[in-house]
Amino acid sequence: MVKIKSIKPKEIKDSRGNPTVFVEIETNKGRFSASVPSGASTGKNEAVCLQTTIAIENIRKIIAPALKGREFAFIQELDEALIALDGTENKSKLGANAILPISISSCRAFAKEQKKPLYLHISDIFGTDPKLPLACFNVIEGGAHAKNNLDVQEFMIIPQRKKFRENFKIASDIYVALGKALNCPLGDEGGFAPSLDTAVQALYSLKGVITDDARIGLDVAASQFYSEGKYHIERKELSRGELLYYYKDLISKFPIDFIEDPFSEEDWSGFADARRELGVTIIGDDLLTTNVKRIKDAEQRSACNGVVIKPNQIGTITETIEAAKLARSFGWMLLVSHRSGETDDDFISDLAVGIAAEYIKSGSPVTKARMAKYNRLMEIEKEHG
């Protein structure tokens, strides 16, 4: 049993310098903390994040008094109490940014209670053996993450070695070589933000420095350039069919493994066409928002065969794991993700290993907030083997 003795929130700054929520809980198992990120490119169906000061007040005046002194046997039981306390479908009363840090820090407490590393505790809940994911390193940025003309949001390299540490070394070497070639500012996630106009130009820049054992992933975030039934990309106005052909051309020229959010978050037909015709994994992020109902819809419509897992899109660890379980039951690929406005919290690394996700993305192989996740993965690899 885990008994909540106190919950203390405070405001901290995320990697973009914006305010976010940090929480420390004291339990009979010790003190545990967590902080939550925020996204620049967010889906409209995500759980609601309130203004930081309001979220903190909700923790102090509503959540902390309601949980103080209570004992919980499992993280699911505690999360159910948080969900009931909020009482809305999208966490709009208390805020996902008030609920999630309590859920994460409590999950750490339950792992301590079980005398297990966090990733093993999560793997017990998920019902699988833990596994190190491949990392998707964001090395070129556009869209909402950068001040340049690139419409595609993330160009990621995916080294394919079996050891995470080896993959990190490959990514670091590629990052250095790319930096010398591009000589430009950085975007929100530590990737380069070059003065390029097209995805083809960015991909040729990548192709010039990547090794044979590295692949490429794209996060298009197409909702960002969709309006009135058209996709406005690279100074062109494209129909759904024309954008699909655009992707086919990219896939024919470059070693692309997956495309994330190739169409707008409500363009179910576009996603279905992509899954049927492109021959790469089609991953839903803004489309799915780590939400069980939307994942079910996507499977019924054959719209995706991969899902981005972001805890702050849904608000609790229990709901996050349920979404991942459902996607896995459909045979989908799992990609655990950070947000563009990150903190030093490394929870998603344990989450990715615990649910045996194929991929994790946490930005470029630099900057403190991104490296916290990669360093934790290297620690787990050393421990777990």
Is the separation of the CB atoms in 330 and 299 below 8 Å?
Answer: yes
Q: Both tokens of residue 96?
A: 């996902």
Nearest alpha-carbon partner for 259 in 247, 242, 269: 247
DSSP state of 358: S
Using CA atoms, how far residue 130 sits from 1, 317, 374, in Å, is 24, 17, 16
Q: Which of 91, 310, 361, 373 is catalytic?
A: 310
Q: What's the CA dihedral at 183, 186, 190, 194 to 10 degrees?
A: -60
Distance CA 90, CA 314 (A): 8
Counting every residue, how long is the chain? 385
The distance of Cα 187 from the centroid of its chain, to the nearest Å, equals 17
Instruction: Clarify whether 253 is annotated catalytic.
Output: no
Nearest alpha-carbon partner for 125 in 339, 321, 378, 353: 321
Around 29, how many Cα atoms within 13 Å sit in the side-chain half-sphere? 23
**Phi then psi for 106, rounded to 5 degrees?**
-70, -40
Q: Which residue has the tokens 């996507």?
A: 298
Instruction: Clarify whether 189 is annotated catalytic.
Output: yes
Distance CA 121, CA 130 (A): 10
Q: Both tokens of residue 80?
A: 């159910």
Residue 357 CB neighbour total at 10 angstroms: 24
Q: Both tokens of residue 193?
A: 């933000």
Q: State how beta strands 71-72 and 2-13 pair.
A: antiparallel
Q: Which of 113, 189, 265, 322 is catalytic?
A: 189
DSSP 288-354: TTT-HHHHHHHHHTT--SEEEE-HHHHSSHHHHHHHHHHHHHTT-EEEEE--SB--S--HHHHHHHH
Is the separation of the CB atoms in 167 and 191 below 8 Å?
Answer: no
- What residues act catalytically? 189, 310
